[in-house]
Amino acid sequence: MDQGVDADAYEALVTAAETYRAALVVRLGGEAGLRTGEITRVAPRHLRETEGDADLSILAVPSEDTAGGGETDGAPETEPAPRDRSGIDRETAIPASLAAEMRRYAESADLGESEPFVDVSPRRVQMIVSETAERAAARSDGLVGPDVTPRDLRRTFARRLLADRGVDPHAVREAGGWETMATLDGYLGPLDGEAIASAIAGGRGGSADGPADESAPTALGGFEALADGDDRATPLAAVPDGVTESDRWAEAWVVRGTGDRGRVEIAGAAGVDRETLVDRGVDGDGPWREAVEEEEAISTAGSPATAGRPAVAVPLRYRDVTHGALCVVAGGESSSETVPSVSSVERREIAALGRCLGWAVTAERWRELLHSDAVTEVEFHTGDEGAFLARASATLGCRIELASTVAVDDDASRFYLSVEGARPQALADAVAGASGVSDLRVIETREDGCDVSARVAGGSAVRTLTEHGATVRDATAEDGRVRVVADLPEGADVRPVAEGFRDAFDDARLASKESVARAPRSEDSLREGVADRFTDRQWAALSAAYHGGYFDWPRGSTAEEVADAMDVSSPTFHNHLRKAQRRLLDELFEDGRRARRLDQG
């Protein structure tokens, strides 16, 4: 029988997930054994800690009757329906790392205890797995098939536990919700006498993943360096120091491009000095450059840049922006006989650290921008057809102004646009087929134009700058040219931002760069002061409702339409919106009461 995907293919599949939600979907199938419909039902309240093993957590799987929703994995389900145990079908044990990711996602998305982690339809879950598989197939040179389904992930779960780890089949059957052992027979190979004797004596089958301690974290110090937020060092300098605290890694360094494609900058290093790295030719071809170009983790058994030792290089990536690469080199002698090669578990761990570091670099720029007294104002122009606003304004001879952007999920935003000189249908025709642009919605139609919104996942000058840590203040498109004005922290290096912009749009140019002092109480600072009260999801719901015309009379959009545009359910949208409204009113009325008390006192 088909036994799912192997360990390397599964790792490539998880790595190819470009959003938190997509990664959770894959891991809930492959590491929790959930069916498609079950993935859409689990919520924060279904997670709990185990009493004995700190490496595992317990996930309760709610039955279909308690949450609604269909059940399909893209093929007819041959297993009997799940048993209903007072609302909970079963419980399963999941890796503590998966439980931690689920909790972090719940916190970042401001989920209530009963709100599902994956608030989409079962059909959308199938599509997420399919899209991730196609992306993994393209990046892994055929290691992953493009037709992986949620059912394949469940088979991977069964094979990993039964064949690779030798877990008791009874436990696997209960964890996966299979009704009979017959479903699992295909994963259980024949045993010889020695294996049977070992099992009866209480032993466990050997692990295909290598020694038991292989799964122990080896780069924990790097994650701790990010979490500690040491003000004395940037993340690019702090993380290498943290990584080399482990005996497993002798060296770690971060490299970034300088705009000159023949040169790189060593932004941080530990365990080796910069001069030595230069002598080894780290600025030439090597695993770090391949990691950036391929946008994935690259392992090597040894190269001149790593002094012949096993190493892994991973991109520092946030959404569509790659800031550089993190390289780590195994400790020990240079002989391959004395230094273990990099395992798939270690490669996955370092890849996760690279993603976190990429996010931290962008977040640091946003933080500096928020607290700086002055900013570097930059203005970029492009007429590249890949910029969909340029394409539309050229085709229609109209003027398009960006009113606002609202994050929909990790890889897309909703743009709210004011258009002069074009009708909605003409605009829809003009952007049809534009890469990453979809779901154009009409908010208001005027005699000389319209207000619309569109989901944008690529092809946007605005998203390109935002993902580099800039704050876009103004964006307009006219006569086939896009003009974008954005702020960067005072003193920030504009070169990597400009280089990233030119990578996205060939004809892009930096029109101006100027240091600008902030007003003591500007409109932006006032808005930021209020926005500090909201979570990201609350702010997104409030912004989407406002720019979508929900508060107009008559309404430009219903709550259901705004929720659909944000790709969330109507109850979830109402929950975020109501909380945001309450906090906005608290700001108004509580500040008023405080002011009156001060006046009276």
What CATH number is associated with residue 61?
A: 1.10.443.10
Positive or negative, the CA dihedral 76, 20, 163, 88 is negative
Q: Is residue 402 located within the same domain as residue 477? A: yes
Closest by CA to 544, choosing from 531, 563, 530, is 563
DSSP for 55-104, please give it: TEEEEEEE-HHHH-----SSS---SPPPPPBTTEEEEEEEEHHHHHHHHH
Q: Is residue 16 located within the same domain as residue 165? A: yes
Q: Is residue 108 located within the same domain as residue 143? A: yes
Q: Is residue 154 located within the same domain as residue 255? A: no
Q: How many domains does the chain have?
A: 4
Q: Does 456 fall in a domain?
A: yes
Q: Are 312 and 287 in contact (CB under 8 A)?
A: yes
Tell me, letter by letter, the H, E, C secondary structure of 529-586.
HHHCCCCHHHHHHHHHHHHCCCCCCCCCCCHHHHHHHCCCCHHHHHHHHHHHHHHHHH
Q: Does 341 fall in a domain?
A: yes
Round to whole Å and give the CA distance between 62 and 54: 24
Is pLDDT above 90 for 266? no
Round to whole Å and give the CA distance between 378 and 384: 19
Q: Does 577 fall in a domain?
A: yes
Q: Are 235 and 364 in contact (CB under 8 A)?
A: yes
Q: Is residue 249 located within the same domain as residue 311? A: yes
Asked which of 209, 236, 257 is the last residue of a domain, the reply is: 209
pLDDT at 40: 93
Q: Is residue 378 located within the same domain as residue 357? A: no
Identify the weakest region by mean pLDDT among 1-10, 25-34, 409-418. 1-10
Radius of gyration of the chain (CA): 26
pLDDT at 396: 93
Asked which of 345, 368, 391 is the last residue of a domain, the reply is: 368
Kind plus residue range of the DSSP H or E element containing 2: none
Round to whole Å and give the CA distance between 296 and 101: 20
Q: Are 204 and 235 in contact (CB under 8 A)?
A: no
380-411 pLDDT tens trace: 999 987 888 998 999 999 999 998 888 776 66
Residue 478, CA atoms < 13 Å, CB-side half-sphere: 9
Q: Is residue 557 located within the same domain as residue 470? A: no
Q: Does 353 fall in a domain?
A: yes
How many Å is the maximal CA-CA distance in the chain? Answer: 89
pLDDT at 576: 87
Closest by CA to 173, choosing from 299, 306, 37, 79, is 79
With bands split at pLDDT 50, 70 and 90, how would you rate the model's confidence at 464?
confident
Q: Is residue 483 located within the same domain as residue 567? A: no
Positive or negative, the CA dihedral 271, 274, 278, 282 is positive
Is pLDDT above 60 for 600? no
DSSP for 179-226, please give it: SSGGGGGGG-----HHHHHHHHTT--PPPTT-SGGGGS-S-HHHHHHH
Q: Does 139 fall in a domain?
A: yes
Query: Bigger pLDDT: 298 or 401?
Result: 401
Q: Are 422 and 406 in contact (CB under 8 A)?
A: no
Query: Bigger pLDDT: 32 or 143?
Result: 32
Q: Is 318 strand, coil or helix?
A: strand
Q: Is 135 strand, coil or helix?
A: helix
Round to whole Å and give the CA distance between 138 and 295: 12
Percent of the chain at pLDDT > 90 equals 14
- Domain interval for residue 321: 214-368
Round to whole Å and give the CA distance between 332 and 200: 39
Q: Is residue 286 located within the same domain as residue 409? A: no
Q: Which residues pair with 321 in a beta bridge?
A: 318
Identify the weakest region by mean pLDDT among 226-230, 274-278, 558-562. 226-230
Q: Does 591 fall in a domain?
A: yes
Report whether the peptide linkage leading into residue 217 is cis, meaning its omega lies within 30 degrees of zero: no
Q: Does 1 fall in a domain?
A: no
Identify the weakest region by mean pLDDT among 214-228, 344-358, 504-518. 214-228
What CATH number is associated with residue 582?
A: 1.10.10
With bands split at pLDDT 50, 70 and 90, how would you rate the model's confidence at 532?
low
139-195 pLDDT tens trace: 877 788 888 889 889 989 988 888 777 777 878 888 888 766 666 766 666 655 555
Q: Provide the CA 229 distance to its chain's centre, in angstroms.
A: 21
- Bridge-based pairing state of the strands 437-446 and 412-420: unpaired
Q: Is residue 305 located within the same domain as residue 396? A: no
Q: Are 268 and 281 in contact (CB under 8 A)?
A: no
Asked which of 322, 343, 368 is the last residue of a domain, the reply is: 368
Q: Does 2 fall in a domain?
A: no
Q: Is residue 315 located within the same domain as residue 436? A: no
Q: Which two tokens stand for residue 467?
A: 């993902």
Q: Is residue 356 located within the same domain as residue 462? A: no
Q: Are 454 and 437 in contact (CB under 8 A)?
A: yes
